[in-house]
Structure 1
């Protein structure tokens, strides 16, 4: 019994060293992607007082990791028209490149996707804890209001 109790501190030291080595090799990395979805009421490609954000718009974000895994995210805009995708993973598996694309607008008057808004590809080379902002996705009404013409 006496021999076992003397080995215990040695065994605990070995376990602590292994845990430290393992945790160092598997560092966590956190990334975030966000953007806005806007209704361009007059379809004039400029932001004016008549334009507004779209709450509840759906956006898809597809990312390829450094290890080659493909990750697909779905996000909806909040009341400020902002969507966010965030992930924490091992540093070796972090995002390498992503594609953000609009899926749909649930606003009954603003459902036509604006020109040049099919999606945005980008490299993700930010360190852990930083975010990437995607250019706004713009929807337009099917019929422009008379005050815009």
Structure 2
């Protein structure tokens, strides 16, 4: 009977432990945005403009617990960068800053006006993403077909 009581206590302990763990929720967040080359430098997206693959973006986030997290991302073939993290709900992102670092494209390397960085609060529930407005680079000289 003593073995049966030990087994019962062990099962109760495992049940309590699993209930306790299910109460500690994990949180997942995602930040993404695009990097574009504004070929004519006219601050509007037109048919002459294109995405910049391989552009580097830094994302700095402060968590609710005060930890500072620094991420580095590069744009894919569609010009989109993504940063994602899974952590305990108590440590989730509170506020972030996204900023472009470099474009790596010889023809489009000058950062456009208003593209130095974007600060934002991260209030999204787990599993949702925040979209940052596009960062824009311009060529050093505007092509003649733009004038």
Report the secondary structure of 1:4's partner residue: helix
Partner Cα distance (1:79, 1:4) in 2:
62
Task: Report which stretch shifted further, 133-142 or 2-11.
Answer: 2-11
Report the secondary structure of 1:30's partner residue: strand
Task: Report which stretch shifted further, 3-12 or 30-39.
Answer: 3-12
Displacement of 1:6: 3.1
Report the secondary structure of 2:105's partner residue: coil
Displacement of 1:9: 2.1
Q: Mark the runs of 5 or more structure 2 residues left unpaired by the alignment.
A: none
Q: How many residues align?
A: 147
Picking from 71, 74, 80, the partner of 1:73 is 71
Q: What root-mean-square deviation, in Å, do the aligned CA atoms of Structure 1 and Structure 2 show?
A: 1.0
Report the secondary structure of 2:53's partner residue: coil
Match of 2:82 in 1: 84
Displacement of 1:71: 0.3
Match of 2:16 in 1: 17
> Residues 57-81 of structure 1: CA distance to partner in whole angstroms, max 9, x if unpaired?
0000000000000000000000000
Partner Cα distance (1:16, 1:107) in 2:
57
Q: Mark the runs of 5 or more structure 1 residues left unpaired by the alignment.
A: none
Displacement of 1:101: 0.1
Structure 1 residue runs of 4+, over 6 Å off?
A: none
Match of 1:6 in 2: 5
Task: State whether structure 2 residue 82 is matched by structure 1 residue 93.
Answer: no
Picking from 6, 30, 38, the partner of 2:28 is 30
Displacement of 1:146: 1.1
Match of 2:110 in 1: 112
Displacement of 1:23: 3.1
Partner Cα distance (2:30, 2:116) in 1:
21
Partner Cα distance (1:22, 1:79) in 2:
40
